[in-house]
Structure 1
Amino acid sequence: MVGSNDIERSKRFYNAVIAALGGGEATLNVAGSGHTRLFYRNEGGTNFIVSEPINDEPATVGNGSTVAFACNSPEQVELFHDTAVANGGTSIEDRPGPRESAMGTITLAYVRDPDGNKLCGIHIPA
């Protein structure tokens, strides 16, 4: 879950990014407190949620926090990155591409969403 200060802006951003990963649009949920949340689900049962903060304080980013999205290929990592940037995200760190790791060569892309939350598209070959 990540917080948002503008749920409609987040909906436009994440609907596009999640679609690039093969997912569908958000299901809108209004909590009993009146706060709006966006629920994204995939076939494996994983949830990704965007929420207005329940404590009514501004949404802030977590230092050292990154939400990673699994990608099916290096090309999908690139699509994740480019879609995020085209929809209000900011490219950060190195350009999307291969990185050496303990797991071998993986492909990564890092962006920040419009609220500043750090996101990663990652492909780890089988």
Structure 2
Amino acid sequence: MIGYVTVGTADLAKSGAFYDALLGTIGATRFMEEPNYFIAWAKAQSEPSLGVAVPFNKEPATVGNGTMVAIALDTPKQVDAFYHKALELGATSEGDVGFRPADAASGFYAGYFRDLDGNKLNAFCIVE
């Protein structure tokens, strides 16, 4: 149902390098780009994508309160690696990897972080 999600950035080059390195770990590459404005990544053009953009209205990029982008992965090991790669690239933790609720042994497994511009993301999988 979701085609793409875009988050704002104050520095397109810096954000582009962050997402190149992070999304490259799950096989996503740049597939659409407009210089000095917008970059989008996806595993394939027919799949949902994530984009970063300098706000069209030229106002400062801000973080949406309650807004979050969730990256679906297949296993807890992939979630762990993606989350730790984000932190390695300069993201900040918003909730360490693990099950939600914490005492569960299956179900929703996720790690939460904020990118270089403060946008909130998570990496998650469902464990049966």
TM bucket normalised to smaller: 0.7 to 0.9
Instruction: Give me the CA root mean square deviation.
Output: 1.8
Partner of 1:108: 110
Q: Which residue of structure 2 aligns with residue 53 of structure 1?
A: 55
Aligned-residue offset at 1:100: 3.4
TM-score between the two structures when normalised by the length of structure 1: 0.85
Q: Secondary structure at the match of 1:54?
A: coil
For the residue of structure 1 that corresponds to 2:94, the secondary structure is strand
Tell me if 1:11 matches 2:16.
yes
Post-superposition shift, 1:116?
0.2
1:90 is displaced (CA, Å) by 0.6
Q: Using a 3 Å threshold, how does the CA distance of structure 1 residues 82 and 117 change in structure 2: closer, same or farther?
A: same
State how far apart, in whole Å, the 1-side matches of 2:94 and 2:67 are: 14
Corresponding residue to 1:84 among 82, 86, 89: 86
Amino acid at match of 2:72: A
Contact persistence 2:30–2:39 (CA under 8 A): no
How far apart, CA to CA, are the structure 2 residues paired with 1:26 and 1:42? 9
Percent identity at matched positions?
34
Count of equivalent residues? 119
